[in-house]
Structure 1
Amino acid sequence: MSKRTSKRTSKIVKPVGSDLDLCTQHREKYVKYCTQHDSPCCAKCTAEKHVSCKEIISLDEAVRHFKGSVAFKKIEKGMVDAAKNLKQIRKESEVNVSVITEERTRIESEIQQARNKINKYLDKIQNQMSKELHEVTHKVKKKSSDLNVVINEMERSIANQQSKIDKVKKDATDVQCFLSMKSTEAELNKIDKTINTIIDDGEFGILSISFNLDPAMENLALNANSFGHVIVEIKPFLSKSIEEISLNLQRTINTQVKQTEGCCLLDNGTLLFSDFLKDRVTVLSDNRELDIQIPIKSSLHGLTVIDSQTIAVSPGGSAPHVINVVDIKDKSIKKTIPVHSEVDGMVYREENLIYCARGDGIKMTNFTNGVTATILKCNLGQFANIANFKDKLFVTDRDEHTVTCCDLKGTVLWTFKDTEVLQRPWGITVDKDGNIYVVDWKDKLVVLSADGKRHKQLLSAKDGLKSPTTLFYHNHTNQLLVANEKNNALLYKLI
């Protein structure tokens, strides 16, 4: 009896990243790593592109202990966090559709109640309003559907990358692990960038609608051409209420300024402070070392960022009454804009400088042609400061102990006044969620909700505040720079 033999061919599984140790351009083994360019190099790469680089090490040295390194764990955790954020964004988006639908029903009920008080002449107006509400709901659903497509794609990418990470930890060599995780890190950066775009660019977000009934409807006025107005506001995904906000101190900075009235933080990490006593702008490089001091012929107050290398400086109460536009790179005054009042706090918005004019209220001067208009006529005191968020302005008045919110037409929306909370409100800024941060000269940092109805104290003298006068929120880095009147400032990360 013959034995029947069977031959089995075992399939060779190609290890994860088995071809990642080959140069994509030269198809030779990577042997070096340029830390200056964060790039692996084959022999030809080193000879052709990295001859002058002084920070080249062996690939073995670069990948040594990488699997257990902080960088490896950071990438792995980043993927988990990205997946969590996407899941939360999806949930908030889907809940938003339901809430908007419910709000639509509630608003339509209000409209119907009003409709019952008037005659059939208003049938057309009701239909128009219902159509508008349905269009808003349809747009929300469509945006949510489009967003789900993007989220699904990124979730698939994350799942693939997480699977790759698991295999890398088990099967790959150190070199393969290092190169594979670098590839994963690049994908993570791409995903994080997309998530940040979803959160920050204003196209997506948590929509809310409300309804303002036209007062004319109550009076049965037949000349009314609308039931009211559907108000659509976009709130960013994953946004925080003031109750959730906390600060993490990153560093204390020696400003070398004896009376700071304005500050800002540029995208490249450069810090700027207006020196009220010595009539100059002090510039600290990204390593917090003194870079330059630019003299300005006036007692400086507010600073506002125009672009990555240009700022505008307000003259405070001194003559000449001109706003100086300063080129940081060239260390020079680029142009001067004459104004007809003493100017304290100032913000830049869409080619316009909006500023606090002492005694005259809030004014706006076009950056290009110098045309000036009054937004709100009021008697502002000294050292008033201003911040902008979307179509709203926020102004502090230390003498009246108030923070006032108005729109760009000068309509006052609300005023916060509580002397137990804010005694001498000074500098003011707004984060990406519309929360308002105010420093009180009496050693406080307080955050107000976007509607001005709630408040929370974040910092006090025990945290290093000593007569703080100004602060600046950086939207992209989520950092808050808080400057004391004399000598130092504190840089925080919002968490």
Structure 2
Amino acid sequence: MASKLCNPCGVSDKDVEAVNICIECNENLCLECSNHHRSLKATKSHQLLDVSLEKPTSILIRDHCEIHPSQEYQYFCSEHAGLCCRECLAEAHWTCEKVMTIDAAAKNVKQSEAFLKCEEEIHHIHESYLEILQRKRENENEVKVKVTDIKEKVKTMKSDLIGKVTRLETATLSCIASTAHEIFEKLDIEKDSICAGAKEAQDYLSEIDFMKKHGTDKQIFLLCNTFSHYTQRSNEQIPNLSARMNYFSISFDEFPALLSSTESFGTISIEDSPAICSFDAYKDCQAPVTATAQYRIDSFQFRNKFDIKGNEINGIAVTDDKKVICYQHNYIEANKALLYSFDGKYLGNIKLKGDPQDIAILPASDLAIVTLQNKKKYALQKINTKTMKTEHLIQVTYPVYGIDAKNNDIIVGSGDEVKYIDDEGLVVRSVDGKGTSPTFVKFGSNEDIYYITDSSLYCMNKEEVIKLIYICDQFLRHSFTLDKYGIIYFFLENSKGLYQLDLKDEFPDMLTVIPAKVEISKPCFMCFDNSSSKLFLSDVTYGVAIYNCCSTIH
């Protein structure tokens, strides 16, 4: 690969190899120019990256005003949720009270809900294109199967038509081939359009990933506002694209008087009908970027349900690579952890060496830890969700029930204590439950720890202070979870609905967020995915229901 040359040196007709790139100035810099760049007041805050670092194929940030192309965006108006340059400020926003510099508005934007939602929406658009493309591929395979079936019919008829079979078979197969070729040509045209859209979405995702790791807050802030044009266009294009799609098929009609003067075994025709490719616009990222946006899940939309093989489900978890793990008690065979895709495809199982109590996915890894009990002995079993193999079994001397992991911390409920452990089961520190009996424990949004007894919900904060949050005599100590916004969800004994408590309220009220429905008849366990965009409910009668979480700004 040819080396890249320093841009500032190139102005002086010097060919000096570049070692860094400034993504704000979009210039390659040699070592000497890099040192100058870091020392100048105007550019010392710029981030310099290694010149060999792979960048997205295009930079999609618009930093110049569309109305005044010669002016850079310098301000953000919260009242109009839009970027503006100096001339825009003077012409249209001089009376607005909530105008701030982009640097101020972009502070900490990389960790903001708005940026995360933008990324999720682009993922949603990309997945929508891939889903339509998959249906086209399925249509292609169905046509191939039908072609094969028709060919078999033709071969069967051939044995009854010895005299004319060679000529008729040749004519008919030629018609089939040309008709199938016509279908595939039409499918290829539609697939090219879909692939182009999917590639564009993938380019956006690549840039998002790059900017998350290496971009400045200002660039990311500009990028988020750039995306609104793209997502609006895509949300209009995909339904139109779906509406224009056709579903192709192929049929064969036999001629009754085949041995007469007919020239083929039958007619070959194309059955062309509109393809049903529904598109649901992403609902979580409709608002533009604001500096102080707070999100909350307001509703849940049923996505799909699938059945689980074997005995009743005793727990559920979701991996970062979109796998559902369910574990079961099995009184005949060994206990198992079963893996499924979000669409219910069975991926395999992992045998567990004891009676499973709870499971936690270790962040940013392919590992999960299951707490086990076996004849009053306790253990931790590490499993690799990617290779679907057991890592190793860790015997421990303390009771283990519930387990959860967040950032670099792993906690287990030990009955009388909450124990912080490492991934080899060694106790880092223990926190006395002070008679509240913490067993099944969960991290909250701010690393506080929550657990339920038979009738009470408790919170243990980082200072090890335990606070009673709520009392209900129908609590189930294992049937609760929290979303990333700090809202707690739980089932109640003898109830099929899902309930919610907003822990930010001083006096929280219990709200029913999913009433009793046919999707899940005996709810028991639940969890969110890592982004809290999907909720998973398990049914003790062997089913898992998945809901899309609809978030809005509060």
Q: 1:376: how far off?
A: 3.3
What is aligned with 2:368?
A: 311
TM-superposition CA deviations, 1:320-377 (whole Å, max 9, x none): 31111111233322133333333221101333320111x3232111225713421232
Q: Output the CA distance in 1 between the equivalents of 2:232 and 2:438.
A: 57
Whether contact under 8 Å (2:527, 2:536) holds in the other structure is: yes
Q: What code does the residue aligned with 1:356 have?
A: G
Post-superposition shift, 1:305?
0.5
What is the alpha-carbon distance in structure 1 between the residues aligned to residue 353 and residue 226 of structure 2?
Answer: 59
Q: Is 1:325 matched up with 2:382?
A: yes
Tell me how far 1:489 sits from its aligned partner: 1.8
Change (3 A) 1:36 1:407: same
Out of 321, 336, 355, the residue aligned to residue 280 of structure 1 is 336
* Aligned twin of 1:435: 487
Paired position in structure 2 for 1:343? 400
1:415 and 2:469 matched = yes
User: Per the alignment, do residues 284 and 313 of structure 1 end up closer, same or farther by CA in structure 2, a change over 3 Å counting?
Assistant: same
Residue identity matched to 1:268: D
| Counterpart contact for 1:265–1:472, Cα < 8 Å | yes
Alignment of 1:142-291 (within 5 A): 151=221, 154-155=224-225, 158=228, 206=292, 237-240=293-296, 245-277=298-330, 278-291=334-347
- Alpha-carbon deviations, 1:426-461, whole Å to 9, x = none? 322211211111122423321110236322112344
Superposition deviation, residue 148 in structure 1: 7.8
**8 Å Cα contact 2:448/2:461 also seen in 1:** yes
**Which structure 2 residues correspond to residues 123-142 of structure 1 after superposition, within 5 A?**
none
- Residue 479 of structure 1 corresponds to 534
Shift in Å at residue 159 of structure 1? 5.5
- How many residue pairs get matched? 311
Structure 1 length as normaliser, TM-score? 0.52
Inter-partner Cα distance in structure 1 for 2:440 and 2:232? 52
Distance 1:257 1:483, change over 3 A: farther
Q: Structure 1: give runs of 5+ residues left out of the alignment.
A: 1-23, 25-33, 39-54, 79-145, 167-173, 175-187, 200-204, 207-236
1:418, 1:355 → 2: CA distance? 24
Answer yes or no: is the 8 Å Cα contact 2:315–2:359 preserved in 1: yes
Displacement of 1:416 in angstroms is 1.0
Instruction: Give the 3 Å change call, closer, same or farther, for CA 412–165 of structure 1 in structure 2.
Output: closer
Identify the residue that residue 47 of structure 1 maps to in structure 2.
Answer: none
Q: Determine the structure 2 residue equivalent to 1:389.
A: 445
What is the distance in 2 between the residues matched to 1:490 and 1:162? 30
Contact 2:533 2:548 in 1 (8 A): yes
Counterpart in the other structure of 1:426: 478
- CA distance in structure 1 between the partners assigned to 2:310 and 2:231 by the alignment: 49
The match for 1:459 is 514
Cα pair 1:317 1:343 within 8 Å, conserved: no
Is contact 1:406-1:412 (8 Å) kept?
yes
d(CA) in 2 for partners of 1:355, 1:298 = 17
Q: Percent identity?
A: 12
Amino acid at match of 1:295: K
Name the residue aligned to 1:367: 423
**CA 1:486 to 1:345, structure 2 compared with 1: closer, same or farther past 3 Å?**
farther
Separation (CA, whole Å) in 1 of partners of 2:133 and 2:306: 28
* 1:404 aligns to 2:461 (yes or no): no
Structure 2 stretches lacking a partner, 5+ long: 1-56, 58-129, 136-183, 205-215, 237-243, 245-280
Deviations 1:13-49 (A, max 9, x none): xxxxxxxxxxx9xxxxxxxxx99799xxxxxxxxxxx
Structure-2 change in CA distance of 1:164 and 1:432 (3 Å)? closer
Contact 1:315/1:342 (8 A) holds in 2: no
| Counterpart-to-counterpart distance in 2, 1:290 and 1:249 | 20
Equivalent residues in 2 for 1:29-108, closer than 5 Å: 60-62=189-191
> Paired residue for 1:376, among 425, 432, 435?
432
What is the rounded CA distance, in whole Å, between the counterparts of 1:451 and 1:161 in structure 2?
32
Distance (whole Å) between structure 1 residues aligned to residue 456 and residue 338 of structure 2: 30
Amino acid at match of 2:512: Q
Instruction: Tell me the SS of whatever aligns to 2:392.
Output: strand
Equivalent pair of 2:532/2:549 in contact (CA under 8 Å): no
Give the distance between the partners of 1:450 and 1:382, measured in 2 at CA: 19
**CA RMSD between the two structures:** 4.6
Question: With structure 2 as the length reference, what TM-score do the two structures score?
Answer: 0.47
Structure 2 CA distance for aligned equivalents of residues 464 and 159 of structure 1:
37
Q: 2:481·2:526 contact (CA, 8 Å) conserved in 1?
A: yes
CA deviation profile, 1:260-284 (whole Å, cap 9, x unmatched): 2221122332111111335211112
Give distance in 1, aligned partners of 2:235 and 2:511: 42
Q: Indicate conservation of the 8 Å contact 2:438/2:451, yes or no.
A: no
More off after superposition, 308-317 vs 292-301:
308-317
One-letter identity of the residue aligned with 1:459: I
